[in-house]
Structure 1
């Protein structure tokens, strides 16, 4: 980005705009995702129902039936100017198998696919580890504002690489899981296209950040804490939505378990 470019929040540039296609090249859906760097590899991370067309427990998604994605077109930031998009095609299937990674033991709506290195693309990574502020960890609480950053209804935040910030509130005590699965709830009027979006707690310059263990710390810069990956509402009648926990992403990338259509879907 040159000196004359407007200042852009890193989180705005961190979300990726995704469109998936079936084997015949017909569009299935648009959604969101983000890039994670781990063990010297870059991965595109999104939902399993986006990259694989399956629910967290490997059922066909009701909305798309048996139309499993074969490829995805993804907008990445240009290496010259990250606010300018470069569209890349990513194969999601290979002969007799998938290319995307699943969690090896926990049923969750997260998938990842390894990315090649492109000279014309800037890989803007999302930090999925814990956030520390002067040696302390921020505390997030029910009712606190959080943000789902992605591409609702196939719209962007000004260019193909700028996500839209959708405000939400944390809807449960974050130390506790929902339905005995590693996920939390947010309350927001989220809509199609936000599946796979990163979710952040965010504090502005000058705000006091509550700290685990008590007290608060004032910060001079914008500070964000990654809370997980959004995967959709619990029910069409509700504004409550699921956010899967960050450790699941790290475990997927560490174990690199490729989805097996025979063993996982038909077995």
Structure 2
């Protein structure tokens, strides 16, 4: 059995606790205008030219080969309480294919983390629940109509999956909302109100906020896709929403991605 990925990042420090190996799975059912990994949106392998050489975004890798690659960093997992993180794209869309690998990693007591938009059928999330030690959950646009039009996100499905996570046996201290901030969408007044309401409901979860950036422009050019240049979020705006969230949840921090 194989999965489709774009990259395996060793010695990662931003995708979960301690030192991680991050696997970027290809394919996502959302289309966030600020996506910093546009090469992971399409499920298809995409070719492009770089320095007059043809290269590809994406390749298929067997679970055995992927496990061998992950276990190259096993010393960091055992001595530093690190682990493996599955990111994307949307990694839960390949959860059925990943399951044998997750079972094997679990048997070796390797910490498993997922980064997800939760924009997946609930039955896929239910498969993953058994293997999740840490989880990062995107929180972006929560207005039903705008979320559907801008992101292709079904907000009702998102909330349903949040309830599944909340009712699971995953340690609440290991569940983190990640909120990308931009003036064009997520920092609109109505959206901020929705975000705060959701954070208040799930106040046991951690929260991380960060500014979206324009560093992926070259990737969009390689893919011949239009790139949206987002305006910079002022530090005062960043601190203002930080303080609002902190009133509801003390486990909030500002990060850079």
How does the TM-score come out when normalised to structure 2? 0.28
Higher relative contact order (CA 8 A, sep 6+): 1
Hey, which of these two has a bigger chunk of strand by percent? 1
The structure that is helix-richer by fraction is 2
TM-score by length of 1: 0.27
